[in-house]
A and B are shown apart, each in its own frame.
Chain A
Amino acid sequence: MSDFIIMSRLILFVLTIGFSLSMIIIIKNAKKGKKPFIRKINGLEAIDEAVGRATEMGRPVHFSPGIASLSEEQAAQSLAGLSVLGYVAKLTAKYDTTLITTIRIPEMLPIAEEVVKQSYVTEGKPDAYNPNNIRFLSNEQFAYAAGCLGIMTREKVATNIMMGAFWAESLIFAEGGFAAGSIQVAGTANYHQIPFFIAACDYTLIGEELFAAGAYLSEDPLLLGSIAVQDIGKALAIILIAIGSITTQFEWTVITDFISKYSAL
């Protein structure tokens, strides 16, 4: 068995299968019309208001899907950011507002173009789609940050939306947006950057809220159903934390040793 399965990842393997099966069951229920309850996320509710403000002011909206590539651990954040981009693009298409999307990762460029273009087509305004507003700036972190700052300042963006994985440039963006007078909505799962966004932005999506964003905004029962799987995972985490706390208190390490041995990355 150990020749076949990597034993140090056994628990992760079982959990992945468990999550997949739970997702299939929950989605089957969602297809039958059972809509799961999702709490209100203020940051996402604010996107409509933020785009509306840009429309009223006649100034553009800036969107950044973060700086993570699609071939690294943080790729899920970039994809979550693209889900929000689709929604924002639909709003800007509807209100005839300019949407400037800045890109750092080259392979994200054609995807972002497709997402925005499709949103304009869905809203019945394919002619309003301007490929010049999807801009690759640089694959260098700070050159990209400088480019974004320049766009925010020169083009006087009224709304700055940042959804994805951000590192040291997060505060540069957020303060640049603040200086340009933008209303700012940010979301990231990079926990070390969340305090900067909270300090400098009007609304911040914290961690898991970013991953729920696409489903929340689409209101698709299938996507919303999948979020319920996160709650199952959280319940499991709470149980494990409780067991770990109690057993550690009594210096009984059998369970924690088992988890350490079979859940190494």
Chain B
Amino acid sequence: MRREVPIIVTLIAGLLFLLDYFIKIPLISGIVGEFETWAIVISAFALGLGAANLFRIHLQKAIKKSEGWYNSVLLLVSMVVMAISGIGWTQTNSIYSYMFDNIFVPINGTMFALLAFYLASASYRAFRVRTPEATVLLVSAVIVMVGNAPVGRLIWEGFPGYSSWIMSVFNSAGMRGIIIGASLGAIVTSLRIIFGIDRSYFGGQ
């Protein structure tokens, strides 16, 4: 039963969602709508499960005074304060809003901004002229970057044209090839899961 029930549920749900996408039957649309509501409820419960997992792991670390235990304490305190202020007095209360706007948002923004530095270091490694492929990558990247920068047109008027040629011919062709392959892969993976051929999602039994 442990093996059969998930396969049957997946098959029924998968076929219903597929049918609803292609065929107009009010009964099936109603059932699919109901499933979507269940999915939201399950996700909410899963979030609670996730929070419990986080709490348990960091509480153990703090109690055992494992390496970096003070980070775990900070995380637990932040988590409890945010949860109590958000759930207890809704997310519009001043304490929650203050912490969200002045702590969470700037930290989130900083993480995103760090990307610029990571981009520079990864580009440096990728563009080192060691192989013919890296050389092609470097030359194309320089043309595209210079062509898209305002200064590119001032250096040579041909840069923007070559830049858009690389992007619209080579880049688009490669990208579409990847998209077609990936889409076919996603379709086949989905069919494998719906028909119960691929059971890796519950331990591959």
Contact = CB atoms under 8 A, between A and B. Distances in A.
B180 A103 contact: no
B156 to A, nearest CB: 25
Interface stretch (B91-99, B158-166, B189-197): B189-197
B23 A199 contact: no
A68 B108 CA distance: 19
Given A199-B122, A227-B188, A237-B180, A109 B49 contact: yes
B197 A189 contact: no
Nearest to A188: B182
Contact of A139 (B21, B47, B115, B123): B47
A230 B185 contact: yes
A212 B184 CA distance: 11
Interface stretch (A15-23, A55-63, A250-258): A15-23
Contacts of A135: 53-54, 57
Contact of A83 (B50, B175, B200, B205): B200
A111 B201 contact: yes
B68 interface: yes
Label chain B's interface by main secondary structure: helix
B200 A86 contact: yes
A27 B191 CA distance: 12
Task: For chain B, give the interface size range.
Answer: 35 or more
A83 B204 CA distance: 8
Contact of B191 (A13, A23, A214): A23
Nearest to A17: B22
A251 B171 CA distance: 25
B54 A136 contact: yes
Given A9-B21, A172-B111, A211 B179 contact: no
A103 to B, nearest CB: 7
A194 B203 contact: no
B43 interface: yes
Interface in A82-135: 82-83, 86, 103, 106-107, 109-111, 114-115, 117-119, 122, 132, 134-135
A117 B57 CA distance: 17
A229 interface: yes
A76 interface: yes
A206 B115 CA distance: 22
A153 to B, nearest CB: 10
B191 A19 contact: yes
Contacts of A23: 188, 191-192, 195, 197
Interface in A139-160: 139-140, 142-143, 145-146, 150, 154
A12 interface: yes
16 contacts: A23-B195, A27-B197, A76-B190, A79-B193, A107-B43, A115-B204, A135-B54, A136-B53, A171-B122, A172-B111, A174-B122, A196-B122, A199-B122, A210-B185, A222-B197, A233-B188
